[in-house]
Structure 1
Amino acid sequence: MNLTINKDFVLETAEKLLKFHSPTGFCFDIMKLIASWAKEFGYAFESTNKGCGIITIPGKRTEKVIGLSAHVDTLGAMVRSITGSGTLKFTLIGGPIVPTLDGEYCQIRTRDGRIYTGTFLSTSPSTHVYDDAKTKKRDPENMEIRIDSKVSSKDEVKALGIAPGDFIFIEPKTTITEAGFIKSRFLDDKASVACLIGLMEILSKEKLQPNYTTKIFISTYEEVGHGSSYIPADITEIIAVDMGCIGDDLNCTEYDVSICAKDSSGPYDFNMTSQLIKLAQENNLKFAVDIYPFYGSDVSAALHGGNDIRGALIGPGVHASHGMERTHYDGLENTIKLLYLYLTN
């Protein structure tokens, strides 16, 4: 297919999104960034009451509206309590693989906007002191956050303004290699958001219109299950753009666009999925069709929310999801191409 994609722009967009802290429930600032991109490309942007974004791309025809959804919220944590020794106990937002947090840097944001740095650690953090340092289970009950401040009591931590309910931002450790690999936490689902921003850049720059009016829905509560439970009523079919899974019994790689036929919420729309497979085949895209038993998407949330829609799920392959994730630019490119083909064929 003849489609020019600005690789540098896509990678720069992905990096900017990935380095921007936005755990579920704290997406206000990052949505301003996405709104600025929409404005730059000449597309209308509006917000829902719970902070999701809707970007409208006018189409050649208006008898139906196609939705594309991706979520900008990520996994994270909150302060659960303050210990007597001046460390923090935490509660998880979403489902990160907790052992990967051991030794991870983070930021604690107070309600009034003060930022403190810290580190996730086991409560047996030293092999020279604790005989169970290597074997203690890494879970929230056996872990805490060491704050980078001179504190050794609960009252001293409270004096910093830190309190239960404060957000904890996990360091994403974003790295883009010369070989095109993108290594970072939270590629789920900021890699897909970068794909949608890249698609908008192409349509705007080339002055192209999709066949039908298209609404891009950027959700902010997907990691806790209700991201797209509401979508605009005029959307008749929606493609969730979310990470493809890699592992045992799966075909997807980091270089593919994944097409999911079924996940924990059930089968995706047969005709939409078949059309996506056909477009990928006819245009020699690198793709994989898989079933994800431990997975739900924005389409799942939209259907559970009672929306009368057809839905499909695609996205770039991501290795080690909810841990130290990795994908490749090729996966993003194949995803952008498949989205473009679906909107223009």
Structure 2
Amino acid sequence: MTAAQALRDGLDSDADGFIALIGACWGEYPGCILDVDGEVPELRALATYFRDQGGRLWVAEQGGRIIGMIATRPLKEDAAWEICRMYVDGAARGSGLATRLLDTAESHARVSGAERMVLWTDTRFTRAHGFYEKLGYVRQGSIRILDDISNSLEFRYTKPAVGLVVEALDAAAAASAERRLAELLIACVADGASLTFMPPLSRDRAVAFWKTASAAVAAGSRVLLAAWCDGRLAGCVILDLATEENMPHAASLRTLMVDPVERRRGIGRALMRRAEQAARAHGRRLVMLDARAGSAAESLYRGEAWQELGRIPGLELNAARESCDTVFFWKRV
């Protein structure tokens, strides 16, 4: 956020600024019509509207003009808080303002007891989708149909807000996580993780990998588990169910990743244990995996009581293009 931008609590008297900002943002998308008095009269006293629901509203100003806004309020289910009315003026995008606004609202929700964040966004707002997905939100549930003048359809996005949480992603969530998981894959490969790619890994290849993975989730041949640490999507692992016909009781683990900046927080161990539970839930009693000899992954697997099957000398290359042994493991679950 630049020095010329000021963040403060929103007031009912900011109504004209709210209406102007939202109207401009909606105007970027064909068919989005802002009918204030007919459909969103709360914009006339928005601070009171959110305060009455136990929530809070913020605005960002520059030169006396409102250039950003966001609100949050508690929901009745699952200790969740909703992110609402997030808009940023077109000229202020790319300045870090959107991230600052969302961080402010999420921080308030967490200290107020939120365990999960939820938001709804119009299916036409593709730029917003990319922003939320980059910050760890994934799609969940059905599309919401609004009976409004704009014929709006909305996606529901969500993420755990606090602690270390591992969840299985369905097809929609897996597809919406592709951007963030591609970033993680690039970072892990650059850090020398025991994966199947060589650095430098291009973004196009990383995205293509996760598009294939999410398609497999949709087909039911893979389970994708994601880990959030204090609201940040920080790791994942794939449980591959596509075994041979004579091995219906087996599965394999692939692409265990933990963000390099989040290492040593128990994320990898939590993913492994949740993957073993998922294998059992899918009727798989035997799970296999492999790791580069001497890697952090090998140490993790041994610590989780995986049994070494054997190794192949010089099977893979490390980041320095040096030959390394590959160790194969198995475990009954």
Indicate the structure with greater helix content: 2
Does TM, scored on the shorter chain, surpass 0.5? no
Which structure has more RCO (C-alpha within 8 Å, separation ≥ 6)?
1
- TM normalised by structure 2 equals 0.27
| TM-score normalised per structure 1 | 0.26
Structure of greater Rg:
2
